[in-house]
Amino acid sequence: MRSMYWEDGRLYILDQVRLPLEVEYIVCQDYQDVAGAISQMKVRGAPAIGAAAAYGMALGASTVNTGSRDVFLEELEKIGRELIGTRPTAVNLQWAVNRVLDRVRAATDKEIAALKELVLQEADTIFLEDIASNQKMGAYGESLVPDGARILTHCNAGALATAGFGTALGVIRAAHQKGKKVHVYAGETRPFMQGTRLTTWELMSDGIPVTLLADSMAGYLMAKGGVDLVIVGADRIAGNGDVANKIGTYSLAVLAKSHQIPFYVAAPLSTVDFSLLSGDDIPIEERAAEELTHFRGKRIAPEGVDVWNPAFDVTPHRFIDAIITDAGVVRPPYLDNLKQVAAKED
Ligand code: MRU
């Protein structure tokens, strides 16, 4: 399945809120449609929202009506700020928008029409590079997956969360494609249910064995010896290796450490935010109370109840055995080793 595709000047996004019951693409005709789709989580997952935002920039650029390069850039920066503002935690969103803006800034010799083309080209490049980097992560990461492994994952870090192939699920997919027998345990991922709705659907579509469990069951499964390793994705990684990912990831990491189960994070280097030295500095999105007080539009909690709904948590690097990147598997100490692989890529 494709999380999104570009056709005839429009962005088509697979509506992940309706999955798995309905498989429908929404059409984005302008950047506001893309911004709405990101904030409503019709498209979600760090690399996917980065790629969608890049195409949002292309849609926005196409409507800027000016003959002045400076005005064009100013308008594009404004659109970029709006897209970045939709979700604060995943660094891929600002990374993709800034990459498009840098490309335009560098093209000092181009006319407006050519700049508009350039924005679309850069979005295409970001999209295609993401698939390639996920495949690289799969190739590096599958060596950490023994034949017969029972793997616990959280949220959805698959093809749906990226331009294609996936990060954590990409590693699992690569192991499966290599002929290894793997079995995935997908935590339901309260409250948005990405595990229940998306990871199960994606893995079942690919014929990869998967068992769904409630988040609260993971500890007992580990205690019974049912998990060989945990692999999750990431929304932002601080320079020291602290990882922001879907709420509930931290609990799994602590449980894994306590049961001596390897805990791996799979993410492209573009998810590493070297400007932050610690996970404490990662902004954590808080979402609407209704995600907890209501179920399928029906109230399930008492009227007026106080609610705390952070969408992500931060797992300190000491709980992480390795970070699988598109430039190789990085082990602690992350501060030095992440920088080293990034420098080699430049
Ligand atoms: O709120 P979501 O569904 O966008 O959160 C997604 C996650 O936390 C994923 O694990 C992360 O973005 C990595 S996706 C390859």
Does the beta carbon of 245 sit less than 6 angstroms from any atom of ligand 1? Answer: yes
Does the beta carbon of 130 sit less than 6 angstroms from any atom of ligand 1? Answer: no
**Considering only the top CATH level, what class is 143-345?**
alpha beta
Over residues 184-207, mean pLDDT = 98
Which of 176, 150, 189 shows the shortest CA–CA distance to 44? 189
Predicted confidence band of residue 25 (pLDDT cuts 50, 70, 90): very high
Return the C-alpha torsion angle 213, 217, 222, 225, nearest 10. Answer: -70
Looking at residue 1, its pLDDT comes to 86
Predicted confidence band of residue 200 (pLDDT cuts 50, 70, 90): very high
- The pLDDT of residue 74 is above 90: yes
Does the beta carbon of 311 sit less than 6 angstroms from any atom of ligand 1? Answer: yes
- The pLDDT of residue 335 is above 90: yes
Looking at residue 91, its pLDDT comes to 96
Predicted confidence band of residue 13 (pLDDT cuts 50, 70, 90): very high
164-191 pLDDT, tens per residue?
999 999 999 999 999 999 999 999 999 9
- The pLDDT of residue 9 is above 90: yes
Over residues 245-260, mean pLDDT = 98
Which of 267, 255, 254 shows the shortest CA–CA distance to 327? 267
- The pLDDT of residue 309 is above 90: yes
Looking at residue 296, its pLDDT comes to 85
Q: Which atom of ligand 1 is nearest to the CA of 90?
A: 12
Region of residue 326 (left: phi > 0; alpha: psi -120 to 50; beta: else): alpha
263-300 pLDDT, tens per residue?
999 999 999 999 999 999 999 999 999 999 999 899 99
Counting ligand 1 atoms within 8 A of each CB, the residue from 189, 201, 246 with the most, and so the one to mutate, is 246
Looking at residue 324, its pLDDT comes to 98
Looking at residue 95, its pLDDT comes to 97
DSSP letter at 237? Answer: E
- The pLDDT of residue 345 is above 90: no
Q: Which atom of ligand 1 is nearest to the CA of 271?
A: 13
Looking at residue 18, its pLDDT comes to 97
Which of 111, 190, 163, 112 shows the shortest CA–CA distance to 268? 163
- For residues 269 and 97, give the distance between their C-alpha atoms in angstroms, rounded to a whole number: 16
End-to-end CA distance of the chain: 32
Predicted confidence band of residue 57 (pLDDT cuts 50, 70, 90): very high
Amino acid at 48: A
Give the distance from CA 332 to its chain's centroid.
Answer: 23
The structural domains of the chain, with segments of one domain joined by +, span 4-135, 143-345
In the chain, alpha helices (H): 31-39, 46-63, 69-84, 91-106, 112-141, 168-177, 194, 200-205, 218-223, 249-258, 290-293, 334-345
Over residues 96-105, mean pLDDT = 98
Looking at residue 221, its pLDDT comes to 98
Task: Please tell me whether residue 286 adopts helix, strand or coil conformation.
Answer: strand
CATH number of 4-135: 1.20.120.420
Does the beta carbon of 158 sit less than 6 angstroms from any atom of ligand 1? Answer: no
Q: Which atom of ligand 1 is nearest to the CA of 155?
A: 10
- The pLDDT of residue 346 is above 90: no
Does the beta carbon of 91 sit less than 6 angstroms from any atom of ligand 1? Answer: no
**Taking all residues of the chain, what is their mean pLDDT, rounded to a whole number?**
97
